Structures are given as C-alpha cells and as structure tokens.
Homo-oligomer: A and B are copies of this chain.
Amino acid sequence: MSIWSKWLAAVLALALLAPAYAREEDGYDLWLRYRPLAGAERAAMLRHARELVAPAAPSPAVQAALAELRRGVQGMTGRLPLDGKQAKAGAIVLGTPASLPPSLRPTGLEQLGDEGYVIRHRASVTVIAANTDAGLLYGAFAWLRAVGTGLAPDRIDERSAPKLQRRVLNHWDNLDRTVERGYAGESIWDWWALPGVRDARYLDYARANASLGINGTVLNNVNAKPEILTAPWIAKAAALADVLRPYGIRVYLSVRFSTPLELRETATADPLAPEVAAWWRGKADEIYRAIPDFGGFLVKANSEGQPGPQDYRRSHADGANMLAAALAPHGGIVMWRAFVYAAENPVDRAKQAYDEFGPLDGKFAPNVLVQVKNGPIDFQPREPFHPLFGAMPRTPLMLEVQITKEYLGYATHLAYLGPLFEETLQSDTGHAPGLTVARVVQGAQAGGRATGMAGVANIGSSRTWTGSHFDQANWYAFGRLAWDPRGSSRAFAREWAAQTFTRAPGALDDIAAMMMDSREAVVNYMTPLGLHHIMGTGHHHGPAPWVAGLARPEWNPVYYHKADRGGIGFDRTASGSDALAQYAPAIARRHADPATTPDTLLLWFHHLPWDYPMPSGRTLWAELVARYDLGVAQVRALRTRWAALAPFIDARRHAEVAQRLDVQVAEAGWWRDACVAYFQSVSGLPLPAGTQPPAQTLEYYRALRFPYAPGHG
C-alpha cells in the first residue's frame, strides 16, 4: 500500500468516524431521518430533485411541504434543492389544478378529494398534485417515503386518498403532564410553559403526524379535568393549534361532562337543562374564537366513574347531541366513547357496551361519532372484534385502538401492533357480505356521514418519542392504517423499518419478520388461547391470574379466566353469558362450538375441561403450557435475530433495543412461570412430560409488588 493510499485510508476513516459521532442516532428523527445516500442513488436523487417549484405565495401548508422536501433532499444528497419557477428537467413541481399548467395536470385528480394526492414522473419532471394544499403536503411526504424506502425518484407513480376523514391521536395526557398509560416519559405538552413558550418539539410532532396523514389530535386525557375548558387552557390549546395548523392537524379536546357544574357556572350538568346547553354553546363559541378550525370534543361519560348524562337519567344520545349542537354551528364534531361498563351490572362486562349503545342506533346527531374500541373488553393482546361493529348501521362508528402498550409490555417489550390493528379491521362482522370492520368504519353502512379512526397515543417526551425505537412503528402503523384501513401491516412494517433502520435487503427482511412475529409472541407468553385480562391489578404489568379479592368482580383476573379444577375459560355461548348473541348469526354460530372456534379465541368464548382434546393432539392443559413455552422461545428468537443484525444497525440504537430484548426475555419467562405455576395449582395436574418447572414457587410470584409503576397518570 502506498503512502498515498494509506493517507487516503486514514482520511476516509476519519471522515467515517466524524459523522458517526456527529450523527449518533438517538431515535428522535423517527422515520424522517433522510440519511445520506451514496453513489448511484445519490446521483439519481440529485438529478431528479434539483429544483422545487411551488405555487406563487405558498400557503403555510405548502411552505411546510417545501421545507420538508428541502430537509429530505438536503439530508440525502448534502445539497439543497433550488427554488425554481418552471417545470424544467430535474424539477419537483407542486401544484393544484389552479396553479398547475394543463400539461402537468394529472387526470382523475377530482376523485381524490380534499386530502388525496398524485405523484408522477414524466420527461424528467416530478409532479406532486392535489386539490388542496393539505394534499400537496401529504404528497410531499409520500414522495419522501417512496425514496426513503428505496424507490428511484423517476419511478414514483402514486395516487392516494385517505379512506377515513378523521385520523386522530388520542393523548391520555393530564394537565399536570403525567400521561395515563404513558410509558414514554411525561406528556410532550409542556402545559405550564404554554402559551408563552412553544417547544420546538411541537413542530417535529406535527411533521411526524403529517407524514402519516394523521390530521387530528386530542390533546388531553379522556379522564378529563374541568380546567381544560377555562380561559388559560384554551389559550394553551390555541398555541398548539397554531403550530399544528400548517401541517393539516386539528386540535380536539377531551371534556368532562360535568364541567360547567364543577366550575360552578351552572347548577346542574343535565344535558336537557337549557342553562347547560347554553353554557356549552358559549364555551364552543369561546373556543372557536381562539381556534377557528377546532375539531371538537372527545367524551368519556358514565364509564369508570366519569360523570355523564345517565347521572340525570338521560341517554348517551341526549348527552352527545347536546354537545354536538354546541359545536355544529362551527363544524365541530363529538366523538362519544362506547367504552362503558358498570360495577353494579352483573352482566358479562364484554356485553355492556352493546347493551347500552345498540338501542341508540339512529338517535345520534349527524356530527356525532361513536368511538368503539377494537374489542369488547379493553385493549388486550388479543380480543375478538367488538360486536357493535356492524350492529349500529345508522350511526358512524369510529374505531379506537391503543397504540400505547398498556397490556402488552409497556415500552419495554417489542410488540408490533400492526397485525393486531389489521386483524380487527379485517374481521368480517357477518352483518352483510364482505362487511369487515374496516368497511364499517369507512362508512359502508352510515354512508355520507363522518368517518374516523382513533389511536391512543404512545408519545411522550422521551427522546425516542415512544419510549423505545420499535414502538415508533406502532405510531407509524396506526397512521398508515388510518389513512387506508385495508392496508397491510406487513407492508407498513417494511416501510417503517426501511426508513428507520436499514434498506439492506436481508436485514430489512429480518427486521420486518421480527416485527410480524412479535405480537403473537406476546399473546403466547401472556394470554394464549383466548385468555385475557390476567395482568397485575391497576398497573397491568406482569402476570396476576390469581387475583380474586377486589371489590368489583370484573377487576379480578379470575373473572376472566374462570379456571377451576374442572377447566378454564369464559363461557360466552348460550350456556354462559351469551355474549355471542351480540354478533351476527354466522359469527355466533361459528364460535358457539369449540371445534369451529379458532384456537386464538378458544377460552374467550368457552369454558373447557383441562383434558379437552386440542387439534394438536395435546390436552388443553398441555397445549396451554406449550403455548407459554412457545412465547418464551419466540422472544428468545427475537433476541437472537436482533443480535445478528448488529452489522446493519448503528451501535447506540442496536444496544438500546438489545437491552430491552433482554428484559423482555426475562419478563416472558416470568409470565410463563407464574401462569404455569398458578394454573397448575388450580388444575391440580402434573406438568406435561419434559416441561421445565417454574423457576420459583407460586407464592414468590404472588408476592411480587410493583410500586411506582409508570402510566398511572
């Protein structure tokens, strides 16, 4: 090697080291990393993103689109695109029908509505076209996503419009900056410092959401406080709305039904009392003066101790419609949650929402959406779809999923939720041919009215936003599925991983495969075969199937698994709670017989003897233990696969994921051991041959306590 090549090698080594330090990745950039391209890829990008051409006097939304394109192209090429005036070779032209010359105007634009976009490349010119500036912003992000996943800039030909109108994050963020079920640090909203101090992070939050098409955010917890509707807090919300507006994101607020009463501004909160309706009208007027594009209210009423219209013997519809009337003049909506169950109600908790809301179908005002959780209990690792889907044909139903992993290992466990969301959306409700949950949510029944999907945010002030690198993928998958509820969670996993970690083909395959396996692993080591809600009391961390002494029956895991010497599972057939009767007949029929019930939901719908013969040839008891073992093995495999990916991932993020996988392996083993020990104590059966006995006694697991667990909010 010559002196010269040694010198070159040394210089190159330094050049490699310098950016490694400067660019140490901490996850803050999410999937919007825009890391440098090399070689032919960089050359192609330089060739096809030389200039940006935008309408004259660009709106804030178009400015945001241009800023993002500049950031992206500069990041990937090191060179800032020029501001161009006309569509010459190498230009990216953004325009609406009004601003685009006819030769560049794509056909069929009119079918793409207010938020859709077209990207096409012809004769060395890329056109991003939309009917509105919001569509241009989404098109700009789509172009960046396309190149970020490896598409050549001259091969991008995309046409897309959202299938749902309201694509909304629900922040369960409290006014003291704690976050209920938040595992990513405190709220990103620095309420105290607002409105005077506006954290730079709010803008990056807006960018990330806009990149997915998320167009709404409910700022505060559904367990809402009256103060959110006082003047100082409206001013704080307005400041946030100002930051989010250029990114097409509307602000919503969760409201407490009894607010005017608690603020001592009315003598009652009865929705039919004129003074109450007048108060809410006045409050809506006040909000819209500060936030002209305010989205509306999210309401948790008569649920888990929250006040509501039933306190005055009024119905959910009475309550929702009164609020809706206050918002209607301004174009606002009410999202009214169907998550209700009552302590004094002896009926199977899984049935109560349907019982309360089914009869109200058709009674809600046009600007009310009923927000229904994916399953009838509460965001478990696996549930069947909620029986209200398809059963309220005259009411727009909004799907609510939980992005934050309250029941799936917090931000520690790797569990990609795309498959969970997709499983719900693809569920056939049986109410009409092809009527999946996705189609219900898209308005197939209550046509012409509002549509939407809500995700309980997993976002906090941690540097990674979501508490771990992989949890970012759950935010991503939610946003992409809210844009297209019939999208593929596997495709979104690949998209996310390519932008977030690496596009090296084998490594990308491995990461996507890990993600796709991960949720099923969690189901297996926590709640296999349809088990549910056997987590620790309150914090929902770790196994506690033995808990039986809490005041309300449905607070106790034993309520859900009903294990005894004779068997295990919740009989929800006609011989039991008959929750099955809430489903369409075809669905109910299939799940009435354990032999035709998918094993994933077996113990959700059936109480079966321990020696019930499973298709595998094992007894139910042996199968249960085998599933727990499988879950542990799957997590071990995740860890092994991740270790092998070290050459493809930057050191810091690789290590941060690896640490969490170590914890997950340990906690999966704990889940398995504690559940096997407990169910064995109930079944009285010996462990299946060859099974590892639990590492500790049942008493050991029962005695574990977790003070100061996060997420209590």
Chain A residues engaging chain B, CB cutoff 8 angstroms: 4, 7-8, 11-12, 14-18, 21-22, 26, 63-64, 66-68, 70-71, 74-75, 78-80, 174-178, 183, 185-186, 191-193, 196-198, 200-201, 203, 225, 227, 239, 242-243, 410, 412, 461-463, 652, 656, 659-660, 662-663, 666, 707-710, 712
CA separation between A75 and B24, bound complex, in Å? 13
CA separation between A4 and B194, bound complex, in Å? 12
Contact A74–B192 (Cβ < 8 Å): no
Pick the residue among B178, B192, B203 that contacts A11 (CB under 8 A). Answer: B203
> Which residues of B are found within 8 Å of A203, using beta-carbon distances?
8, 11
> Which residues of B are found within 8 Å of A63, using beta-carbon distances?
12
Contact B666–A196 (Cβ < 8 Å): yes
Contact A12–B196 (Cβ < 8 Å): no
> Which residues of B are found within 8 Å of A26, using beta-carbon distances?
200
Pick the residue among B66, B185, B243 that contacts A461 (CB under 8 A). Answer: B185
Residue in chain B with minimal CB distance to A410: B192
Pick the residue among B8, B18, B242 that contacts A243 (CB under 8 A). Answer: B8
Contact B74–A18 (Cβ < 8 Å): yes
Contact B656–A200 (Cβ < 8 Å): yes
* Contact flag A708-B652 (CB < 8 Å), given A18-B80, A70-B16: no
Residue in chain B with minimal CB distance to A541: B192
Contact A198–B18 (Cβ < 8 Å): no
Contact B656–A196 (Cβ < 8 Å): no
Contact A64–B12 (Cβ < 8 Å): yes
> Which residues of B are found within 8 Å of A659, using beta-carbon distances?
196-198
Contact B175–A708 (Cβ < 8 Å): yes
| Nearest CB of chain B from residue A178's CB, rounded to whole Å | 8
Contact B70–A242 (Cβ < 8 Å): no
| Nearest CB of chain B from residue A625's CB, rounded to whole Å | 26
CA separation between A200 and B79, bound complex, in Å? 31
Pick the residue among B8, B14, B71 that contacts A80 (CB under 8 A). Answer: B14
> Which residues of B are found within 8 Å of A185, using beta-carbon distances?
185-186, 461
> Which residues of B are found within 8 Å of A239, using beta-carbon distances?
4
Pick the residue among B12, B22, B67 that contacts A12 (CB under 8 A). Answer: B67
* Contact flag A227-B18 (CB < 8 Å), given A185-B461, A186-B185: no
CA separation between A37 and B84, bound complex, in Å? 35
CA separation between A67 and B656, bound complex, in Å? 21
Pick the residue among B12, B200, B227 that contacts A708 (CB under 8 A). Answer: B227
> Which residues of B are found within 8 Å of A11, using beta-carbon distances?
200, 203
Closest 3 CB pairs of A and B: A15-B70, A196-B663, A175-B708
Copies in the complex: 2
Contact A177–B12 (Cβ < 8 Å): no
Contact B21–A71 (Cβ < 8 Å): yes
CA separation between A75 and B8, bound complex, in Å? 21
> Which residues of B are found within 8 Å of A662, using beta-carbon distances?
196
CA separation between A192 and B410, bound complex, in Å? 11
CA separation between A78 and B177, bound complex, in Å? 41
CA separation between A176 and B8, bound complex, in Å? 26
A to B CB contacts below 8 Å, 15 in the list: A7-B198, A12-B64, A14-B67, A14-B78, A15-B67, A15-B68, A15-B80, A17-B74, A18-B78, A22-B22, A192-B410, A196-B412, A201-B463, A227-B708, A461-B462
CA separation between A12 and B78, bound complex, in Å? 12
CA separation between A225 and B462, bound complex, in Å? 25
CA separation between A79 and B17, bound complex, in Å? 9
* Contact flag A192-B708 (CB < 8 Å), given A15-B70, A18-B80, A71-B15: yes
Residue in chain B with minimal CB distance to A539: B192
Contact A4–B74 (Cβ < 8 Å): no
CA separation between A178 and B710, bound complex, in Å? 11
| Nearest CB of chain B from residue A536's CB, rounded to whole Å | 13
Residue in chain B with minimal CB distance to A710: B192
CA separation between A285 and B239, bound complex, in Å? 54
Pick the residue among B64, B178, B192, B660 that contacts A197 (CB under 8 A). Answer: B660
> Which residues of B are found within 8 Å of A192, using beta-carbon distances?
183, 410, 708-710
Contact B79–A177 (Cβ < 8 Å): no
| Nearest CB of chain B from residue A206's CB, rounded to whole Å | 11
| Nearest CB of chain B from residue A464's CB, rounded to whole Å | 10
Contacts beyond the supplied A16-B80, A192-B709: 7 A-B pairs with Cβ under 8 Å: A4-B198, A12-B67, A14-B71, A17-B80, A18-B78, A22-B22, A196-B412
| Nearest CB of chain B from residue A194's CB, rounded to whole Å | 10
Residue in chain B with minimal CB distance to A660: B197
CA separation between A649 and B666, bound complex, in Å? 48
Contact B70–A412 (Cβ < 8 Å): no
| Nearest CB of chain B from residue A548's CB, rounded to whole Å | 24
CA separation between A462 and B17, bound complex, in Å? 27
> Which residues of B are found within 8 Å of A7, using beta-carbon distances?
198
> Which residues of B are found within 8 Å of A186, using beta-carbon distances?
177, 185-186, 461
Pick the residue among B176, B197, B663 that contacts A663 (CB under 8 A). Answer: B197
| Nearest CB of chain B from residue A91's CB, rounded to whole Å | 17
| Nearest CB of chain B from residue A9's CB, rounded to whole Å | 10
CA separation between A350 and B83, bound complex, in Å? 67
CA separation between A353 and B48, bound complex, in Å? 74
| Nearest CB of chain B from residue A389's CB, rounded to whole Å | 35
CA separation between A410 and B63, bound complex, in Å? 36
| Nearest CB of chain B from residue A635's CB, rounded to whole Å | 14
CA separation between A462 and B463, bound complex, in Å? 9
Contact A412–B197 (Cβ < 8 Å): yes
Residue in chain B with minimal CB distance to A707: B227
| Nearest CB of chain B from residue A204's CB, rounded to whole Å | 9
> Which residues of B are found within 8 Å of A174, using beta-carbon distances?
708
